[in-house]
Structure 1
Amino acid sequence: MSASTLERTAQQRVRRTRTRAVSPLPALAVSTLRPHEYDLRPACISLVCPSCRTWVPISKPGGQKPKLVPHHTEPAGTENPVRCLLGSNRLVILDMDIERWWQRLEEGVSETDGRRSNRVIRKPRAPVAPAVSQILAPLLMDAQTTLKRCQDHKRRCSVCANPKAPRCTDGDRLARLYAYKAARTDPHRATATALEEMAEQQERGAWSLRELQWTATAESVKRADIQRAHDALVAMRRSLPPKEAGGPQLTEWGRAELMSAIALLATKVEQLSR
């Protein structure tokens, strides 16, 4: 078999970026980037492109002119990707040591973990609880003690001392408490209150009796209303003259009014019969 008839098969070659194009941007020094923006491990040496903020591998990191590989501005798998024109093929200056970079990265992580927030969170102010004397005193004081406290407060308070000016909060509270205590301890007021309560009870009893009486007679009243409406309807229908020649006839307006009244009575009878 001749050499010309041998079937030649192309061998699979390693895929590499072979281009002499260089980005017009100045060379990017790795030392100018932050420690978390580049990775100097030999297995995945790469950095964040300053133009599109995308992680890009560095081609030929051990060569004379390492540079960023041509890349897109969108993540891998994006439909209709856009090429990063400025960041692609940009020269890179590897002026950082792996050990130094790793040390800076660990120091930054430890510093961030130990950092505390400077935000001031203010605790809500708890309401001031009233004193025990303020809780029990209004319940235990009588009218005379309340009046004495009210007079003492009026002598000490410059606001309540002026009769033309309105009372302060404490003065108003003491004045209301004295009025309440005086009304409770006054015999005439107590008698009037008792009479008012008796009158109110009598009125409630009268209403209850009226409701019971109405409930007892409601059925008979309903039957009487139905019979009254039915009788009126029958009488009105009888008063409607027939359409005969020579007999008494109504005008069109009179017949329409009579028919309307009959319809209203029929509706009323139907509603009462439900």
Structure 2
Amino acid sequence: MSVPTLERIAQKRVGRTRTRAVSALPALSVSTLRPHEYDLRPACISLVCPSCRTWVPINKPGTLRPKLVPHHMEEAGTEDPRRCPGSHRLVVLDIDIERWWQRLTEGVAETDGRRSNRVTRKPKATVAPAVMQIVTSLVDDKTARRMDEAHVKGCRACAPGSASRCTDGHRLAHLAAHTKRIGPARRKAQAEQEEWADRREWGLRLLREAQWNTISGPVRHADVHRLRHQLEAMCWSMNPKKPEGPRLSAWQQAELLSSIIGLAKQVDQLDS
């Protein structure tokens, strides 16, 4: 008869929260939360804790007293974590799970149907201009002709008597011919642009003059009024009404008198 052997290795137990603690906070009704703040699927039934705004599983959802599992307010791995006051809070599942699941399925199907199947085409890359096209817009016909002549004088292959030219000489000759051909049109366009700029500047000048003429009268009146007040204040400081008032020295009186004369001239110019 065989003797049964004893297993000395402890079996792994299912982790469950074995506590009767209940949070002092009132019971949380799932119906008071927003639709995106709870998930009632059996595989991951959970909700957003109102105290710490994190997703927390619901312990024993099929019993009479489902509660939120104990959790901390800080991230995992932090030192001295604080437990959230929403731990062990009672939860009231006052929502029909089957109806909630049906509405969720219908909403996902409706959202998928609203998505557009239009293909967004990538914009076509523009062709970069050639080097000769870039140089043509920067060099006029006279400069291109001088560059060609200077190259012919310094290059042996592009001598005046030779029939062929080097690569740079051929490009410079083509540039000189091209700028000579488009030179008149370019000068005409530049003259028209300068004329348009002059007309625009003249129009803006006339507009500013017209605007100033509409407000020049009130501005001149305000300036005259301000200068007259300054003259009265200066005259009063030279001849105070109270005999026991402070008296000015000779230098101060001379400086004040020159200022009064200058202000009087400004008033005469504005009044004229």
Normalising TM by the smaller chain, what interval? Answer: 0.3 to 0.5
Q: TM-score, structure 2 length as denominator?
A: 0.37
Please identify the structure whose Cα radius of gyration is greater. 1
TM-score normalized by the length of structure 1 = 0.37
